[in-house]
Amino acid sequence: MKIAVTGLNATDNPGPGIPVMRSLQEGGFDDLKLIGLIYDSLEPGIYMDNAADVCYQIPYPSSGLESLYERIAYIHSIEKFDMLIPTLDSELYGFVKLEPRLNALGIKTFLPTLDQLNIRGKDKLLGFCKANGIHVPKNTLATSLHDLYSIPSDFTYPVVIKGIFYEAYIANNFEEATGFFKKLANKWGYPIIIQEYIKGSEYNVVALGDGEGGMTGAVPMKKLYITDKGKGWSGVTITEPALLEISQKVISKISWKSGMELEFMKSETTGEYYLLEINPRFPAWVYLAPGAGQNLPAAMVKMAFGEKIKPFDHYTIGKMFVRCSWDLLADVSKLAQISTLGVLDNGK
């Protein structure tokens, strides 16, 4: 079995590629070969000894679908990989559009449709949740700085200013909101999401939808330590039926097909869970799921190959993860190889 995975940027804002690979390594596949698809020659996952067998550089989504397809087709002509797992939000639209052509090459995928992707988008979440009785923070979509003037009538500060794909900041006043708005607009484009700030504790769920409305598995986690970028640096699995019920409802309503992360805030004042975001892929902490007894990435691969997977009905409560910063040493020849040839064989 040869599987190509993206998102090897194991930085302080980590992609899910490495934890997906670690999960697959424990998935019981025969002769597993992992192919890393990377955008930048300094993505840390390239240099990890126990991750990808070989890495190939691929073009950024902004280069256009055709160049991405040609590169993937070229890599496939060499590696003959069986499945491709994209793990980054910003590349998903491209891979979903390419899915029929990838499948025609013999590359399996397990991806949502464009409609499914759109329904759970940050700009559509409010409507989706309201229609389905799920608590959600109020939000408004801003397409110009002028829209920020409406904040005082719609919300009270602080508010959360979010980019359409990534990043979110808490703004305590108009001046801060303006600064974050410009920063996010320059980086990720429009619209900018202005969201009601719910004070409380953060909870996340990693889940897998079978594409027919069924939830193959789900593991809820409380963030124990959050970085200044808002990333969970430590977390612990918990038992919370309410989180699983909401996750089940979301997956069922969208008939979600693929991995998913649901981000919640438990309100300090009401005790209710507010759904902040639905991310259309496994999160960077997905390795906690197999650690707790649900190997969701491995289950997804098996489903992509047509295997019927019995939904998981159990996970270990109190299993925690702690990320660490660890310097990898490598000879500069590796950097030379990946940056000039666009390929690095780790010789495993």
Partner 1 sequence: MRQFEVPAYAAVSDTGFIFLGNSGETFNLNEIGKEIFDLIRLKMNTEEVFKEILDNYEVDRQTFERDFEDFINRLLSYGLIKEI
Q: Which residues bind partner 1 (CB under 8 A)?
A: 201, 203, 221-222, 224, 235-240, 266, 317-318
Helix, strand, coil abundance in the chain, percent, nearest 5: 35, 25, 40
- Return the DSSP state at 35: E
Please report how close the Cβ of residue 256 comes to partner 1 at its closest, in angstroms.
25
Reported for 210-215, long-range contacts at CB under 8 A and 24+ positions apart, including other chains, are 210/257, 210/303, 210/309, 211/110, 211/112, 211/255, 211/256, 211/257, 211/258, 212/255, 213/251, 213/252, 213/255, 214/251, 214/252, 214/311, 215/247, 215/248, 215/251, 215/252, 215/311
Please report how close the Cβ of residue 247 comes to partner 1 at its closest, in angstroms.
16
Q: Which is nearer to partner 1, 201 or 227 (CB)?
A: 201
Length of the chain: 348
Please report how close the Cβ of residue 40 comes to partner 1 at its closest, in angstroms.
34
- Return the DSSP state at 316: -
Q: Which is nearer to partner 1, 73 or 238 (CB)?
A: 238
Q: Which is nearer to partner 1, 67 or 201 (CB)?
A: 201
Q: Which is nearer to partner 1, 257 or 319 (CB)?
A: 319
Please report how close the Cβ of residue 304 comes to partner 1 at its closest, in angstroms.
32
Q: Which is nearer to partner 1, 1 or 236 (CB)?
A: 236
- Computed on alpha carbons and rounded to an integer, the radius of gyration of the chain in Å comes to 20
Contact present, 121 and 193 (Cβ < 8 Å): no
Please report how close the Cβ of residue 25 comes to partner 1 at its closest, in angstroms.
27
